[in-house]
Amino acid sequence: MTDALFQPIQLGKLTLNNRIVMPPMTRSRASQPDDAANDLMATYYAQRASAGLIVTEGTQISPMGKGYAWTPGIYSEAQIAGWKKVTEAVHAKDGTIFAQLWHVGRVTHPDNIDGEQPISSSAIQAENVKVFVDNGTDEPGFVDVAQPREMTHDDIKLVIEQYRQAALNAIEAGFDGIELHAANGYLINQFIDSESNNRTDEYGGCLENRLRFLDEVVSAMVDAIGADRVGVRLAPLTTLNGTVDSDPINTYTAAAALLNKHKIVYLHIAEVDWDDAPDTPVSFKQGLRDAFDGVLIYAGRYNGEKAQQAISQGLADMIGFGRPFVANPDLPTRIKHGYPLAAHVPETLFGGGEQGLIDYPNYTSQANAEQ
C-alpha cells in the first residue's frame, strides 16, 4: 500500500498532487559556452512532471559557484531564458518545479571558474575530492580540487547578494520556488561543519557562528521572494566532498530550529544512500520534526513501502526518489500500481545528449510495444 504517498499536500500557496519528490541530480547537459538550460533539459523535466515536486539539478549562482563542467547557471540573461523553457514545459504538464541554487565553494578547480582560486569558509583543501573539468585543450576528465582561499567579509557579502539575486532570477524564469543547496560538502556546508571551518571571526568557532552564513543567506532570499517559496537541503550525516562535523546531531537539529525561525516552506534532508550505509537514527528524525514546523522531505534509498512507512509514522511529509527517476519518467505511476522499475545506465548519467536522458520510456508504452 502506498496510499500515503498519493495524498495531496500544501506547500506554501501550492497544492501538490502527491508526496513524491524528484530531488536534484546533476546531469551535466547545459548548453555551452553559456552554461544555459536548453530544450533537451526542458523535455527531461517535463517527462517527470507527475512528481508532486521537482527540484532541479544544482544551478550555480555565479561563475565562481561552478564545480563541474557543463552544469547550468542562473546568473545571466541567457541562463534565465534557458530555464524559462524548462519551467514552461513542466507547467504545461501541471507540474511544480523549484530551482536548486548552488555555490560549490572549494569543491572546484580553476579550469571551471575562469582561472580563479576557489573560495571557502577557510583555506582548507578538501581531501580525496575530484571534480570534472573541460578546459578546452585537454581531454575532459576528473582532477583534484584546488586549494581555496578564506572568504573575506566582502566576499561573504557578495555571495549573499548573489544568492539573493539568483532567487529573484529563478522567479523571473518561472520557477515556483527555490531550494538552497546547503548539503553535500558545498559552500554553505563548508561553513556549518566544524572540521571545514577554522575561522576565528563571527563566522567560525561556536555553532551559532558556523550557522551565521546559512542564516544570512536564507534571510536574504526570504526577503527577496518570500518564505513560502524557499526550501533548504541539508545532509546531516554524510561526509561528502570532505566536510565533517564533530557533533552532527546537535549541529543539524540547531540548523533546523534556525530555519524554522525563517518559516521556510520545506526542509529537505539528504540521507546517506550508499548500500551499506547506516540508517538515520529515528530519534534524530524526531528531533528534526520537533524543531521544524514546515514540510519535511527525506531522500535516500527509499522504495514505495519505506516511503509510505515514513509518512505514516509522521517523520516525513514527502519523499525524494533520486536515481529511480532517471530511468522511470513515470515513477509515480509505477509506484502506485506496483509496476517494475527500469534500471538506469550509469555511463549516460553525466554529459552527452538524449541517450540516457530523455529516451527512457513510460511503462505503458513499453508494455504495449512488447505485445
Q: Which helix (H) or strand (E) holds 162?
A: helix 153-172
Of the residues 44, 45, 163, 186, only one is catalytic, namely 186
Q: What are phi and psi of 307, to 5 degrees?
A: -65, -45
How many Å apart are CA 16 and CA 318, to the nearest integer?
A: 10
For 300, the 3-state DSSP assignment is coil
CB neighbour list of residue 67: distance below 8 Å, 6 or more residues apart: 60, 102, 104, 107, 108, 112, 131, 186
3-state DSSP helix/strand/coil % of the chain, to nearest 5: 40, 15, 45
How many Å apart are CA 23 and CA 303, to the nearest integer?
A: 14
Annotated active-site residue 186? The verdict is yes
* Residue with cell string 540508517: 279
- Is residue 21 within 8 A of residue 318, CB to CB? The reply is yes
Determine if residue 184 is left, alpha or beta; phi over 0 gives left, psi from -120 to 50 gives alpha, anything else beta: left
How many Å apart are CA 193 and CA 325, to the nearest integer?
A: 30
- Is residue 266 within 8 A of residue 11, CB to CB? The reply is yes
Grid cell for residue 275: 548500500
Determine if residue 326 is left, alpha or beta; phi over 0 gives left, psi from -120 to 50 gives alpha, anything else beta: alpha
Catalytically active residues are 186
